[in-house]
């Protein structure tokens, strides 16, 4: 948990004063990716017209561009409005394999005015690499995103 407390001021400082959502998500993805040894870190945003999640700023290998409601870990976070911690993605019903190297996954929804507007998706090549500690560690930055989402272009 100490790494999260140490990183929070940097993550929040990256977002201060910038009103462009894409720039903020890009910098936040890069900062998280640099702080941890994870395979993939990025965002998917809700495309309301198509009722899908669409790829947004990320760090790591090429990713799936669109994810459909009801299928996969990101969709589970979207549908339930709750964090998803998956020790082994192969055991997750309906898992979408964007990278064969991903084994564990953490997905955190960004909820604004009761609706999920995006998810932070993090993949690891190590089994059981995420826990409730990570969910709690990211709570502050997710809350920061939620409180400023509608202020960004």
Cα distance between residue 129 and residue 121, in whole Å: 14
Task: Please state, for a pLDDT cut of 70, what percent of the chain lies above it.
Answer: 100
Phi, psi of 92 (to 5 degrees): -90, 120
Query: Averaged over 11-30, what is the pLDDT?
Result: 95
The reported pLDDT for the residue numbered 1 is: 81
Per-residue pLDDT tens digits for 78-124: 999 999 999 999 999 888 888 888 999 999 999 999 999 999 999 99
Q: How many CA atoms lie within 13 A of 4 on its CB side?
A: 12
Per-residue pLDDT tens digits for 39-73: 999 999 999 999 999 999 999 999 999 999 999 99
Nearest to 59 by CA among 11, 106, 24, 26: 26
Residue-range domains of the chain with CATH = 2-151 (3.30.450.40)
The reported pLDDT for the residue numbered 53 is: 98
Q: Which residues contact 43 (CB under 8 A, 6 or more apart)?
A: 25, 29, 56, 57, 58, 118, 119, 120, 121
According to DSSP, the residues that pair with 84 across neighbouring strands are 107
The reported pLDDT for the residue numbered 148 is: 96
Model confidence at 13, in pLDDT bands (50, 70, 90)? very high
The reported pLDDT for the residue numbered 129 is: 98
Cα distance between residue 94 and residue 80, in whole Å: 15
């Amino acid at each position: 948990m100490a790494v999260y407390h140490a990183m929070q001021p940097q993550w929040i400082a990256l977002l201060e004063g910038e009103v462009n959502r894409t720039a903020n998500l890009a910098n936040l993805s890069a900062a998280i990716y640099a702080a941890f040894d994870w395979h993939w870190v990025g965002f998917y945003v809700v495309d309301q017209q198509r009722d899908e999640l669409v790829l947004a700023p990320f760090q790591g290998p090429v990713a799936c561009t669109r994810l459909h409601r009801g299928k996969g870990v990101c969709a589970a976070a979207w549908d339930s409005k709750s964090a998803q911690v998956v020790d082994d993605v192969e055991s997750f019903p309906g898992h979408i394999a964007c990278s064969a190297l991903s084994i564990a996954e953490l997905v955190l929804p960004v909820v604004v005015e009761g609706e999920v507007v995006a998810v932070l998706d993090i993949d690891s090549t190590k089994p059981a690499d995420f826990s409730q500690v990570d969910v709690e560690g990211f709570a502050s930055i997710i809350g920061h995103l939620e409180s400023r989402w509608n202020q960004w272009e």
